[in-house]
Structure 1
Amino acid sequence: MRLLGIALAFMLSAPWLAACDDDAVSQARRQTLIIGKASGLSTIDPGTTVMAYNFAPMSLSYERLLRFVVADGSPTGAVEGELAESWRLDDDGKSWLFTLKQNHRFDDGSLVTAAAVRFSFLRTLRLGLGPAQALSGLEDVEAIDARTVRFRLAAPSPIFPLILALPPMVVINPTVLAHQKGDDLARAWLSEHTAGSGPYRVASWERGQRIVLKPNPYAAETPRYFQKIVLKTVKDNASRRLLLERGDIDIFEGVTPDMADKVAQMSGVVLFERPTPVIVALAMNTTRAPFTDIRVRKAISLAIDRRAIASGVVHGHASLVNGVLPAGIPGHDPDLPEVLRDLSTARALLKEAGIAPRTAFTLSYVPASATVDSTALAIQNQLADAGLKIRLETLAPSAFAKVLAGDFDLTLSNWSADFPDPWPIMQFAYHSLNAGEGYNLSRYANAEVDGLLTRAEHAMDAEERTALYEQAQRIVMAEEPMVNLFAVHGLLAYRTDVRGLRYNAWQPGIYNVESMYRGDDAP
């Protein structure tokens, strides 16, 4: 009889238990943020990657000394302390002194110290990979005491604090050396594990499928709401869009210009769109005839309808670049006139330069997306109107080495700035030191421009720097080694119940999840 009573009580309570289970599942889902990513990650070792698609788990698991101040989707140009309580430039102009905040701890409970800062930056320099390029002027890092660290530079650098706010410039727990294999500085282990002081840490990773992050119990800034983050790889754009529409993912990365308007009309979805400094350009090989002739370069520039490409290829989700520097960068001149298409002048310049009608040139590029292909086709058609025959040569990424070696006529180029400063664009796209293997794909070389850029790189006075960059920009504009087609807009879609998002369009894939929440559940 007692057994029957127990069984009856259990059956009567079963619906209530099921309801509790449903509530628990519902709450667990509400406190899980799922981000749909267009591609899988290759590594999460901060010392080895500068690829934006790898940054999300790194930015959530680690802390930097400084971070960018973001307003209305774009960086302001200012930085604020993340691990740093204060910082100052020494009188010599080449030493930066940082004092660390107290009680920031790695995910094993150990304190973040100046020794850990020193270890992290020297590790990056020793690895000598992508992130080390941004630290090329760093001579030494000295841990003065547990909370004080000094960076010694080879020459004054006004942008050094901005460089320290870049995603790879994080502080890693030195105990990772326990996982070192040979002299790899724990590179193999850190490629799929984290050892930071950020609000989360990587809990699991199914390569090509998903990465799961959970809270770091020792973090100084514990997550406000979300207790689990899932970075889900869904390569197909249409599938990713359907998952967002159904609410199976909360954030949709990789919104393409052709689908942006449709996504904006979806119920329960917000489309984020902001201008970025990512410039798409047509680079001409200035070391190969006839592109050594300014008349030919000018003719190609005048034969291209930039506005038609921006509206037709990227469906208006881009801004024109009337000059070298895009909007948001000091030195950008908003009063520069739009470069209008002028076919008659283009044809006259080609004739004057001795270029016969139907002369053929090759546009070599990597077809990384449908947008790139469409841009190449538009250029081909527009230059045909000026009497030029353009052959399109698509290259595998590994075959792009021929372009870097200078074996090309025309190529599609893109570059960007991670922060609001002329240096990343002017230095890498136009300084002769970066011709060839660098980002100066046009192989442009001008001694006067080189001198101006070198002076600007080390000038500590903001007005002087801007004036130097403006002068260099005017020379580059007159010589036209590249045709700046447009600056793309950053596009991101997310569910309306995701609140507190402070997104930086200049650094896609990085989220302030620790302070985000869902709907009306603000804690």
Structure 2
Amino acid sequence: MRKLIAGLVMGTALVTTSMAAMAETPKNALVMAFAIDDIITLDPAQIFEFSGAEYAGNTYDRLIGFDNDDVSKMYGVIATSWDVSEDGKTFTFKIRDGIKFASGNDLTAEDAAFSLQRVILLDQSPAFILGQFGFTPENVKDKIRATDSSTLVMEVDKPYAPSFVLYCLTAGVGAVIDKEEVLAHEKDGDLGHEWLTTNYAGSGPFALNKWTAGESLSLTANEDYWDGAPAMKRVIIRNVKEAASQQLLLQKGDIDIARNLEADQIASIESNPDVKFLSKGKGALWYLGLSQKNDYLSKPEVREALKYLVDYDGIAKTILAGRAQIHQAFLPEGFLGAYNENPYSLDVEKAKSILADAGLGDGFSVTMDTRNTTAIMAMAQSIQATWAQAGINLEIIPGDGKQTLTKYRARQHDIYIGRWGPDYQDPHTNASTFAWNPDNADDATAKPLAWRNAWNPGAMTAETDAATLERDDKKRAAMYLDLQKKVLESGPFVIMFQETEIASMRKNVNNFVLGPSFDNNYYRFITKD
């Protein structure tokens, strides 16, 4: 059974650290400052937020993974191998022997089958990642099954491009959980969902110690991890949203890593010999979601005008200095079929002309829900200022991550400024949220970003589906290129930037891995000099 390290001797002290004296974190513990107020749940079947996904990526194993430096290379994690049938519809995975969960239970193919089935049965936000392969609550136990303790079989409904199916299993919904442990905490048929919201049932390199919503998250090392125990025996993540506070904590040595420093803080410590930086281009996009329930925003002319009312260059160079590049299409650079042209720039006079032609020369008023972190608020205020030049009165409504996301997911916003990251490394991940919406009703089952913004993309939904079945990469890339151009022209999104993540670290911290996606940032390789 995994040896859980009892107690966090630093816990309270770290949260209330005195700034009067230099601190030093223990050599076998990692202390990080990170804005984690977006965590809503710790259940992998429900996690759909950046910080929660990073947590799951460090605590749960998945069937397969991919090389962070070359995402075209996939490898087995829980699965040692897999085969695809000649008709392209049956995937068979062999499960690795000798893996144990934190409970001490053996991990088997039955756990893997249960975990995937459970995603469909619970039908939480990320369930569509698996549901797009024809799985339903009625058929999933037949279509995803263990044929013996080491063999998992998954039957999809169409001959999809194999990489599309496999990349979906690298997403958070591919996490394998402990069936016996979870069902021991089941209430009223919820498959242990209420319990797993704040608890843990995985086999990964770290286990949950404690999550205090809005305050901190602490993990302990899995000393018996099948691929080697982490050097860091504890990971303590403090919810510190203010960049200036993160900077001060880092400079004093109270934390090992600061994750959310802004341009000013990074510039001020660049010459500090005790600090170093790690950067990685990410797939995350910064964008505005424009609800089509708003009478003004539903006008195509207004959507076009707003795209000319963002100071892309100014925001990229100042507010996001070094941490983003201008990118206006829904597929990030580096994805198959990505469109890397940026046709929009700040042009107030052109925007005013477009609005005048639409009968809105006097402007209008609208609200924007904004997570109250420094960078997002600064972007929102920049947008507020440039929109005002065209007569648009933008009211900023700040809130924490949970508040703004909950409102956005309920379609109760006018405008939402947010960050969207791919759920897997296949282009369908973003096409299926920006260009696909099969049911625009308020009670729809599928709820992609197009749905959140009450937009019916029409024929693009069928075109998005068709692209998943194309096995010729050149033809498939052309299909995604066409979809991006259509969304760029008519969609309810103002896509602005592609993220570059920067981690600021004490000089003695080594081997922190930043990956291409938000759940590929790994702690297990970290060491300290």
Alignment size in residue pairs: 487
**Structure 1 residue 39 and structure 2 residue 36: aligned?**
yes
For the residues of structure 2 that align with 1:360 and 1:208, how far apart are their CA atoms? 36
Q: Which residue of 2 aligns with 1:186?
A: 192
For the residues of structure 2 that align with 1:156 and 1:472, how far apart are their CA atoms? 22
Secondary structure of the 2:303 match is helix
Offset at residue 289 of structure 1 (A) = 4.9
1:172 to 161, 173, 177: 177
1:131 to 113, 121, 126: 126
Code of the aligned partner of 1:319: Q
For the residues of structure 2 that align with 1:331 and 1:360, how far apart are their CA atoms? 37
Secondary structure of the 1:34 match is strand
For the residues of structure 2 that align with 1:411 and 1:323, how far apart are their CA atoms? 17
For the residues of structure 1 that align with 2:96 and 2:502, how far apart are their CA atoms? 35
The answer to whether the 8 A contact 1:430-1:444 is kept is no
Offset at residue 99 of structure 1 (A) = 0.9
1:5-404 pair list within 5 angstroms: 29-39=26-36, 42-71=40-69, 76-136=71-131, 137=133, 138=135, 139=140, 140-158=143-161, 159-176=164-181, 177-203=183-209, 210-223=216-229, 225-286=231-292, 289=295, 291-334=297-340, 336=341, 338-356=343-361, 358-386=362-390, 388-394=391-397
Q: 303-312 or 140-149, which moves further after superposition?
A: 303-312
The answer to whether the 8 A contact 1:64-1:169 is kept is yes
**CA distances 1:87-120 after superposition (whole Å, capped 9, x unpaired):** 1222232221111122222234443211111122
TM-score with structure 1 setting the length: 0.82
2:458 to 443, 447, 454: 447
- Structure 1, unmatched stretches of 5+, are 1-25
Relative distance call for 1:182 and 1:420 in structure 2 (3 A) is closer
Relative distance call for 1:234 and 1:143 in structure 2 (3 A) is same
Secondary structure of the 2:97 match is coil
Q: Which residue of 1 aligns with 2:11?
A: none
The answer to whether the 8 A contact 1:298-1:480 is kept is no
- Structure 2, unmatched stretches of 5+, are 1-22
Q: 168-177 or 237-246, which moves further after superposition?
A: 237-246
Offset at residue 324 of structure 1 (A) = 3.7
Offset at residue 452 of structure 1 (A) = 1.2
Secondary structure of the 1:29 match is coil
Secondary structure of the 1:214 match is strand
Relative distance call for 1:256 and 1:79 in structure 2 (3 A) is farther
Offset at residue 402 of structure 1 (A) = 7.5
TM-score with structure 2 setting the length: 0.81
**CA distances 1:242-277 after superposition (whole Å, capped 9, x unpaired):** 332232322222333442323434332222233323
Q: Name the % identity.
A: 22
The answer to whether the 8 A contact 1:428-1:434 is kept is no
* Structure number, greater radius of gyration: 1
The answer to whether the 8 A contact 2:279-2:514 is kept is no
Offset at residue 86 of structure 1 (A) = 0.7
Relative distance call for 1:394 and 1:38 in structure 2 (3 A) is closer
Relative distance call for 1:325 and 1:102 in structure 2 (3 A) is same
Give me the CA root mean square deviation: 3.2
Secondary structure of the 1:419 match is coil
For the residues of structure 1 that align with 2:415 and 2:212, how far apart are their CA atoms? 40
1:489 to 487, 500, 521: 500
2:424 to 419, 424, 427: 419
Code of the aligned partner of 2:176: V
**Structure 1 residue 461 and structure 2 residue 472: aligned?**
yes
